[in-house]
Amino acid sequence: MDLKLVISAVDQATGVLTKVQGSVKQVEGAVKDIQRPLFDMKSAFVNIGAAVGAWKIAGWISDATLMAARYETLGAAMTVVGNNAGYTRKEMDAYELTLRKTGIAMIESRQNLISMAQAHIDLSKSAQLARIAQDAAVIGGINSSEAFGRLVYGIQSAQVDVLLTIGLNVNFEDSYKKLASQIGKTTEDLTEMEKIQARTNVVMEKGKDIAGAYEAAMGTAGKQLTSMQRYLDDLKVKAGETFKDALNIA
């Protein structure tokens, strides 16, 4: 065996290993260099997530507070408009509570009672109309609060196409003739309040055609999801009342 050749081979192998070790150290250094900014990036994202979460919570509180303030403002308006139409605040509050029991959201209850009082729609029929709105909401693919708003607007404005979107196929001209015949007048002699009464009557009559749709649909996930919005909105109003004083001060 040639000792010189062995020593030369060992030296060569040692040199290669030295180079490999140097490369490994370079890789280790590079990994550390990468790990450091990655850790910093992770911390940054955690901080961003916390900031976004806090921002969302603050936004929710802001929305809730504004909704509570809106509800309070509508209460004041409801009192005035109700008084002008011959209703006391106690009566208006009772009508609102009845509407809420039928599934109408807090804000929409007050908004629609104001619209009904302005249009001189008989508020004693508000609960019956809200019940029809529950069935109409299923057909229209909306929640009961929105359906009730469309129903009230349809009666107020005499726009049959608005009512058609929620499954109520009415003919207001026929309703005028029917009421005129009942009270001994011609359709031309009917007052605007009498026409509103006629429109209300025919809507309530046509409501029988869609009765039961609400009960049939409440077992479905789709309808439950649609109805969920009311609970979320009412929760916001209730929660917002906690922060309303701070808003008044601001």
Cα–Cα distance measured from residue 229 to residue 133, given in angstroms and rounded to the nearest whole number: 16
Max alpha carbon distance in the chain (Å)? 135
What is d(CA 230, CA 107) in angstroms, rounded to the nearest whole number? Answer: 10
Structure tokens at 200: 């209300």
Instruction: Look at residue 33 in the predicted model and tell me its pLDDT.
Output: 59
Q: Which amino acid appears at position 1 of this protein?
A: M
Rounded to whole angstroms, the Cα distance separating 227 from 205 reads 25
Kindly give the confidence (pLDDT) of every residue in the chain, 250 residues in length, as a single tens digit, with 9 standing for 90 and above.
554 554 455 455 445 445 545 554 555 555 455 556 556 656 655 665 665 566 677 677 778 888 889 999 999 999 999 999 999 999 999 999 999 999 899 999 999 999 999 999 999 999 999 999 999 999 998 989 999 999 999 999 999 999 999 999 999 999 999 999 999 999 999 999 999 999 999 999 999 999 998 888 776 766 566 667 777 888 878 887 777 666 566 5
Task: Report the pLDDT value the prediction gives residue 244, as an integer from 0 to 100.
Answer: 65
Those residues whose C-beta lies under 8 Å from the C-beta of residue 144, and which sit 6 or more positions away, are: 102, 103, 104, 130, 133, 134, 137, 214, 227, 230
